Every structure is written in structure tokens, then in C-alpha cells.
Amino acid sequence: MSKPILKVEKLTKRYPNGVLALQNVSFSVMPGEFLVIIGLSGSGKSTLLKSLNHLVEPTSGQILFGDKDITRSSTKDARETRQQMAMIFQQFNLIPRHTVLQNALTGRLGKTGTLKSIFGRFSKKDISDAYSFLELVGIRDKANIRADQLSGGQQQRVAIARALMQNPSVLLADEPVASLDPATCHVVMDYLKKVNRELGITVICNLHFLSLVRQYADRVIALKQGQIVFEGSPDQISAEWFRRIYGEDAREVEVE
């Protein structure tokens, strides 16, 4: 058995306002895995992902990335970590007024000098890579269109291309399909799966719909009030587990 790419030990996060968003969360992620995190709104899913790439500073605990302890990093090391763990968001978080190509290129900011990037002088290789990643997510023909003129699903694919530009080993996806319609939802999830299978990038993805979880996840972690209450394969989530995770009155909805 190979070594985990990420090992999280007793991770705890208390926000300055006193909210305890994560309590003693421990788990490991294997290279190439498609891990899905589920849980009610407010259970701490976003906090968990953002702690991994230092968008949120954990209060205590430990995060091992490969062999490296990245729990307490200097700002420079944190930037290095972020480059290797790309992230996509529910609201896509693109630059609305920039073109699709320019947005994809921002994935290389970490490897581009400040002045060069300000004057938009990305290398030839950066540009050809950007085109090929846009091709991979099927949106190359939109390269010169402004990002805010695309549909939600298309924007999320641009965000995936931007993430891939970072040549990451891990892709964090924070509810990537929560603001998309069911059909588009599958398109985006299929691209994530493709990235996972074809490029061997480890994916950690927060999701809401169990039907999606069954379809895409290799393994599932369920959070409830900042604690892990379930860990296992998707088909182990019985009706009983479902009620335990989502509460007694919850009913499962399907995404076709």
C-alpha cells in the first residue's frame, strides 16, 4: 500500500467569533483518490477544505502533505502549498471582466514574477498550456470571451482549467455544482472525474446530493457539527446513516 498524500490529525478550528467549526478531525487521503465530504450546511465542510490550503488558519492539529508538515507555514510556504493544492468554488470565483484565457492563465501566477504577471507577459508555454487545458474541459472555443458572459457550468469548467494550470497534485472542490442545474451538474462532475482518472489528480470534493456521491466518490467522509461521523465507501451509507448525518426528518432527493 502506498503512502497517503494528505494526513490530517486532530484538526480543530475555532473562528474568532467563538464558532467551533472543526473538532478533532482526523483522516487520510490516498494519492489518486476521489474523496467526497458531505454534511449539513454549517457542518464545517468549507472550513475543512480551506484549512488544507491555508485560506483558513487551523487552531490546532496537524496537516501532513506528503512528508511535509504544512500546519504552520510562513506566508511564502502557504503560497507554495496553494499552488500544489488547487481549489474551485461554488461561485466559481473567476475575474468577471477578464477573458476565459486570461482567467486560465491566472493559474500560473504563483510561478510568474510579479512585474511579468502585471504586464500580462505570460510565457508561450503558459499560453499553449492554457489552451490545452481549456480544450480538456471542452471550452477552448470560448477562450476570448469574457468570463461573465458564460453560463455557470461553463464558468466552473474555466475554473477547473485555471486549477489545472497550477499543475496541482490535489484539487479541492468546495460544492462545485451547488449553483448549477442538474444536467450541467453532471457535465462538471464528469470533468472532475476525468481530471481525477486521466491526470491522476487527487480530488477532495464537498457535495450536497447523495445521488452524486454514490456516482462519483471512491470514499466518503460525513461531517456533523465539525466532527467526522461517518467514513467509508458510498454504498455503505444506509438509510440509517443518512438519518444520522442529516437528521431524523431528512429525505433523500435525487439528481437525475
Partner 1 sequence: MNKHHIQRYVFDAFNFSIIFAILFYGIFTHSSESLPDLKKSLLVLSGGLVLGTFLSYWGNKKGRRTLGETLFSSAEDTAVATDHSLLRSLWGFQLIVSFLVLLVAAGRQTEFSLIELLNKDGIASAANLFHELASPDWGLLPVAIVKVIETIFIAFLATVFALPVAFILSFFAAKNIMRGPTAFGVYGVLRTSLNVVRSVEPIIWAIIFAVWVGVGPFAGMLALMIQSIASLTKQYSEIIEGVSEGPIEGIVSTGANPIQTVWFGVVPQVILPFISFTIYRWDINVRMATIIGFAGGGGIGTILYQYSMRSQWNQVGCLIVVIAFVVWVLDILSAYIREALK
Q: Per CB under 8 A, which of residues 1..40 are in contact with partner 1?
A: none
Residue 80: Cβ-neighbour burial (10 angstroms; 0-12, 13-18, 19+): middle
Q: Please pick, from the candidates 8, 11, 33, 39, the single residue that binds ligand ATP as defined by CB under 6 A.
A: 39
Q: Please pick, from the candidates 5, 29, 46, 246, the single residue that binds ligand ATP as defined by CB under 6 A.
A: 46
Stretch of residues binding partner 1 (CB under 8 A), selected from 14-22, 100-108, 213-221, 246-254: 100-108
Report the partner that residue 19 touches, choosing among Mg ion, ligand ATP, partner 1, none (CB closer than 5 to 8 A by kind). ligand ATP
Question: What residues pair up with 229 in beta bridges, in sequence order?
Answer: none
Q: Please pick, from the candidates 106, 156, 169, 206, the single residue that binds partner 1 as defined by CB under 8 A.
A: 106
CB of 41 to Mg ion, least distance (A): 7
CB of 79 to partner 1, least distance (A): 4
Report the partner that residue 92 touches, choosing among partner 1, Mg ion, ligand ATP, none (CB closer than 5 to 8 A by kind). partner 1
What does the block give as the cell for 146?
469574457
Q: Are the C-beta atoms of 196 and 31 separated by less than 8 Å?
A: no
Q: Is 17 in the site for ligand ATP (CB under 6 A)?
A: yes
What does the block give as the cell for 25?
478531525
Question: Buried b vs exposed e over 84-111: b needs ≥16 C-beta within 10 Å?
Answer: bbbbbbbebebeeebbbbbbbbbbbbee
CB of 42 to ligand ATP, least distance (A): 4
d(CA 96, CA 232): 39
* DSSP H or E run through 249: none
Residues at the interface with ligand ATP (CB under 6 A): 15, 17, 19, 21, 39, 41-47
